[in-house]
Amino acid sequence: MRRSLLPGAVLGWLLAGPLLAAEDAAPVSVASVEHTTPQAQWVLPGTALARRSALLSVEVAGVVAELGVDDGDTVRAGDVLLRLRDRPQVLALEAARADVRRAQAAAELATVQERRQASLLAQRMTPEDSHDQARAQHWQALADAAAARARVALLEDELARHALKAPFDGVIARKRTELGAWVRPGDGVLELVETGALRVEFALPQAYYGAVRAGTPVALRFDAVPGEPLAAQVSQLIPIGQEAARSFRVRIELPNPDRLYAPGMSVDVTLPAGGDDKPVASVPADALVRSADGGAVVWTVRGEGDALQAAPVPVQPGRAFGERVELLGSALPPGTRVVVHGNERLRPGQALRIVGGS
């Protein structure tokens, strides 16, 4: 199956018009659209997506004093990624902790004095108002110690907010600040993308809606990772259709502990097919040229004799059977010639020279 970075709007191609007749003809191999009896699977294009991503920001304003990561670095949840200048907060915390020790000492002394006055009062050796005064001073000292400890907790929290930590395992996709920069809450400073677990999503044509549900087995084949297809299963069918495309999003959860796959990779999703065995329009898999936005076209051959030209036709791939792929709702009649080799760089109206196929 061919892949090429084609624009999503094929309509512009159709309006581009023929190229100059003097252009050299492109050598291509062709095959024909056929009516084929489908077998038991569909192959649909999908995309690997990050399960979680975040644009991280600081909680307080300040100057970046430490920046321990760069683009592409792998981090673990809890790692310190960035630290703001915090010397004033460190000194304020030290002073607050000293106040705690002072307040605790005063509270201990007040406790001793209150107990002494209580003993003297029991022996009728001190007036009652002296005991009341000692008890009030004891309570005040305890309150002062509690306030000092709260002040320390507040400063500890403020100091902690000067460090930006990774909320989950992932990769730094982009660094958006540098040492010495002044940053504020709300400023995006680092982009973090989870790569240890991915999601594969693909568009399911509404004609197949009833045949796919959570738990449906699938096989995933990544263009960038050669080898046998990866067995998985549908995690979720999102029951809200895309009105323009008449399709539904399907999601597959994909563990990725070895980081073998990456967000943004294209993937072919093979599903078991259901339905009848009526003949359907099909083309060789190599006739499909997929665009980055998930669309697909086939390049048809127009004209006769030596006056052959390339014309792109948008198609919606369906089930795959053998070396052929179903074309859903295709208006291409059987026998239409399509390019199967040499179709990666064709342009609308380009002259063609058939060197293989039929």
Which domain CATH number covers 207?
A: 2.40.30.170
Query: How many angstroms separate the CA atoms of 291 and 297, rounded?
Result: 8
Predicted local confidence at residue 266, as pLDDT:
92
CATH number of 316's domain: 2.40.420.20
Query: How many angstroms separate the CA atoms of 83 and 60, rounded?
Result: 11
Residue-level pLDDT, tens digit, the chain, 358 residues: 554 444 444 444 444 444 444 357 899 999 999 887 765 677 888 999 999 999 999 999 999 999 999 999 999 999 999 999 999 999 999 999 999 999 999 999 999 998 998 898 888 888 988 888 999 999 999 999 999 999 999 999 999 999 999 999 999 999 999 999 999 999 999 999 999 999 999 988 887 787 888 998 999 999 889 888 899 999 998 888 766 667 889 999 999 999 999 999 999 998 876 555 677 888 998 999 988 777 889 999 999 888 899 999 999 888 777 688 888 877 888 999 999 999 988 999 999 999 988 6
What token pair was written down for 217?
Answer: 């087995």
* Domain range enclosing 70: 53-84+165-193
| Boundary-marking domain end, from 116, 141, 160 | 160
Q: Are 299 and 343 in contact (CB under 8 A)?
A: yes
Indicate whether 331 and 299 sit together in one domain: yes
Indicate whether 72 and 187 sit together in one domain: yes
Indicate whether 208 and 306 sit together in one domain: no
Indicate whether 29 and 77 sit together in one domain: no
Indicate whether 310 and 352 sit together in one domain: yes
Indicate whether 268 and 308 sit together in one domain: no
Query: How many angstroms separate the CA atoms of 148 and 112, rounded?
Result: 20
Ordered DSSP codes for 255-314? E-TT--S-TT-EEEEEEE--S----EEEEEGGG-EE-TTS-EEEEEEESSTT--EEEEEE
3-class secondary-structure state, position 166: coil
CATH number of 181's domain: 2.40.50.100
Indicate whether 74 and 183 sit together in one domain: yes
What is the separation of C-alpha 124 from the centre of its chain, rounded to a whole number of angstroms? 78
| Boundary-marking domain end, from 107, 139, 160 | 160
What token pair was written down for 89?
Answer: 């907060």
Indicate whether 278 and 351 sit together in one domain: yes
Separation in Å, CA 278 to CA 36, 45, 192, 329, 332:
8, 23, 49, 13, 17
Of 167, 228, 158, 160, nearest in space to 192 by CA: 167
Q: Enumerate residues 6+ apart whose C-beta is below 8 A from 152.
A: 93, 96, 97, 99, 100
Indicate whether 65 and 185 sit together in one domain: yes
Q: Write b or e for each residue in 289-302: b if 16 or more Cβ atoms lie within 10 A of its Cβ, otherwise e.
A: bbbeebbbbbbbbe
Query: How many angstroms separate the CA atoms of 230 and 252, rounded?
Result: 12
Give the DSSP H or E segment for 36: strand 34-36
Number of domains making up the chain: 4
Q: Enumerate residues 6+ apart whose C-beta is below 8 A from 33.
A: 281, 282, 283, 327, 330, 332, 333, 334, 335, 336, 338
Helices marked H in the chain: 11-14, 87-122, 128-160
DSSP for residue 167: S
Q: Enumerate residues 6+ apart whose C-beta is below 8 A from 132.
A: none
Indicate whether 63 and 175 sit together in one domain: yes
Indicate whether 282 and 313 sit together in one domain: yes
Indicate whether 150 and 170 sit together in one domain: no
CATH number of 107's domain: 1.10.287
